[in-house]
Amino acid sequence: KKAYKQISGLLFGSVYTYFTSSKSLLRSTVRAANEAFDAGLIQPNSAPDTFTPWLTSLRSTALSLCSSVVYHQEQMLQRSSATHRKGSATYAQVKGLFGDLYDGHAGYRFLCRLRNVMVHGSMEAVAVSAKRTLIGGNHIQTKFHATIDRAFVAQSEMTEVVKAEIVGLRENPDMLVLADEITAPLADVNTRVEKLLYANMATAYQAVVDFDDLFGGKPGLRAIVNSPDDGPGPHVPAYMPWSQQMIDLARERL
């Protein structure tokens, strides 16, 4: 149970999950806006008030995405500082990993800097547009886009180097495209940082794998039966189910 709780906390308590959740939320909001427009619930030309709530929702979820990227880096650096001190080699490694991520991936730079502009400047740094396409001759399909507004960024106080990168693009960069581009490299950095910060987890990983091996690879739910209390009966058997994601993580990290 102790090993399970340790790994479960690492998996489900990871600040990286805030990024993946924020990305999913933005994607879901875009999809919902598409469906609302197709259903006639959004009519920007004849009833502009029907569009305003969706504009606000899309910008809010875009800010959540940017904030999750910044939050992840800040939290991992704070955890590194708390466990290994700022002057330690481990802290330098963690900081270096995030530095390489920032330097090597434009999408990461854009989202980090966009967060500051939205918080300290205006939510209007994110532009929202919709494209409608005729499908099959009789069906119109809507596709919303939440993008970084290059014209707004040009007048903002964003870091000059990143500002020049964004303004120099041929079109506004799409928020979801940027998020998808950095998902794999950010996940890799997260894994490498966690291995540095939680280097003593090998025993817990092994305990979980050993427990899973007791089932001989058979499909089905893994669980531990809890001991009944000493009170008067009847006693109903209780068990604690184990997450398959947690078992998979233990095997991956060994």
The model's pTM is 0.79
Q: Given its phi and psi angles, is residue 116 left (phi above 0), alpha (psi -120 to 50 degrees) or beta?
A: alpha
Q: 159-195 pLDDT, tens per residue?
A: 999 999 999 999 999 999 999 999 999 999 998 998 8
Domain extent listing, the chain? 15-197, 199-254
Give me the amino acid identity at 188: D
- What is the pLDDT confidence band of residue 250, given thresholds at 50, 70 and 90? confident
pLDDT (tens digit per residue) in 90-138: 999 999 999 999 999 999 999 999 999 999 999 999 999 999 888 877 7
What's the rounded Cα separation, in Å, for the pair 206 and 137? 59
